[in-house]
Chains A and B, each alone.
Chain A
């Protein structure tokens, strides 16, 4: 499934302007504050000020902060999006249990977020975001705060979920080796825009996206609002 996105979001320092076609798994890398989170949040419908053509899809979203429901067990947290979209309770719980097991959290299913470590909470939130059946997955730094083993589990889990679904997935992060294994292309975000090439990522001058199914449209010319920002 391909999803075309155009978005513009005004921010105090610089505006975020992105046009891209999402297909498969796409990684967003770039410095902190470059606009990765803004892009992801806008696609999740959490930036009401965002303009452009942003499809309203059923998303699975992992924010920079976990946002787990503190009054629910890990299992109920992960099952919640499934139940909310009409999956029968029994199936939702079975699926949630499976996800948590895949992330090494079998012993934590009945605990509440307050009783979990930071890394465990992160993985519960990841399991909740990657609920099966979504139309677009948005993961903001899924490996942040995870130890090596947990990060590897998380990487495998993300890869499995993405390959088992035809929904596109956008992952922001810094762990380039892991992102390269999961994603079919890596885009670099600089001051709110997709940088023309990805050479800074793989250390060579060859742009990564050339062999990627994802095409990042160049900002210039494609976007009607470019005249205002283009001179920067």
Chain B
């Protein structure tokens, strides 16, 4: 076979693979959106149960992202700048763990810690605080599962800061706080926002850990994904409407993240 024919064949093969892959992603989305009429979707979403689920999801995701930024940013910074060694590697593995852990395992592990008889559960019991199957449990489940995505992105964003720039900043007389706020944070901003968007999308779609640790009580802990599952066999239209809503939210997050990232980047002025 000639090289040209080879190349053509390879080109066709590649094109075919990409085409199939694109269809595989696209067809289910289109099928979902066209499954029910827009009117039905609006009607279903206007029902109080749907609005409850949306509010619970948005509230929990917002709280989870606040926790993730507050605790994840220092973690990512440490992982990026710390002295390389066994300690740092262990920390890296530790903070990556929830990413590979099956969500159901994460949920039941949280239950084991915060539930009756668990170390945290026991410590909180005298104060009358009960975490499992509350909204706080939803927030904790989302945080646990979604944080690694932010930490990873933030870590590589901090690590991407050039050595010369860091060295120059250390010789300006600026203290660590000023250096962090005025140099390292702005330079990593794009990566941080990207990580936040990924984390938010992951939290919005969380299912397994939440249902284990927080249950699926309508109006209390039932998030959008749990409501989809909950109504699939009782009112399929509601399930489709909620799924469409979730799809739109997720697409919006990723588009916004891209647009903002591209515009806010100092390199693309």
Contacts and interface: CB of A to CB of B under 8 A. Distances in A.
A117 interface: no
Nearest to A70: B266
Nearest to A60: B171
Interface string A52-90: 000000111101011111110000000011001100000
Contact of B178 (A61, A67, A71, A84): A84
Given A84-B178, A112-B266, A67 B165 contact: yes
Contact of B164 (A45, A60, A65, A114): A65
B174 A71 contact: no
A85 B175 CA distance: 9
A46 B266 contact: no
A9 interface: no
Contacts of A45: 170-171
Interface string A182-197: 0000000000000000
A227 to B, nearest CB: 32
A125 B169 CA distance: 12
Contact of B167 (A46, A115, A134): A46
A86 to B, nearest CB: 9
Contacts of B172: 80-81, 84, 128, 131
Contacts of B162: 67
Interface string B175-208: 1001000110011000000000000000000000
A125 B164 CA distance: 11
A65 B266 CA distance: 20
A44 B167 CA distance: 9
Contacts of B171: 44-46, 59-61
Contacts of B267: 70, 114
A44 B170 CA distance: 9
A114 B267 CA distance: 7
Interface string A89-106: 000000000000000000
A80 B182 CA distance: 10
B165 A84 contact: no
Interface in B239-269: 266-267, 269
Nearest to B182: A80
Given A46-B167, A63-B167, A85 B173 contact: yes
B168 interface: yes
Given A80-B174, A84-B178, A63 B187 contact: no
Contact of B174 (A84, A112, A114, A125): A84
A58 B173 contact: yes
A115 B269 CA distance: 10
A70 B173 contact: no
Contacts of B266: 70-71, 112, 114
A81 B174 contact: yes
A63 B170 contact: no
A164 to B, nearest CB: 19
A66 B162 CA distance: 11
Given A84-B178, A112-B269, A114-B267, A68 B168 contact: yes
Contacts of A128: 168, 172
Given A112-B266, A112-B269, A114-B267, A67 B164 contact: yes
B165 A70 contact: yes
A70 B165 CA distance: 8
Contact of B187 (A70, A114, A134): A70
Nearest to A81: B172
Interface of A: 44-46, 58-61, 63, 65-71, 80-81, 84-85, 112, 114-115, 125, 128, 131, 134
Closest 5 CB pairs of A and B: A67-B168, A84-B174, A67-B164, A61-B171, A81-B172
28 contacts: A45-B171, A46-B167, A58-B173, A61-B167, A61-B168, A65-B164, A67-B166, A67-B168, A68-B168, A69-B165, A69-B187, A70-B165, A70-B267, A71-B183, A71-B187, A71-B266, A80-B172, A80-B182, A81-B173, A81-B174, A84-B172, A84-B173, A84-B175, A85-B174, A114-B266, A125-B168, A128-B172, A131-B172
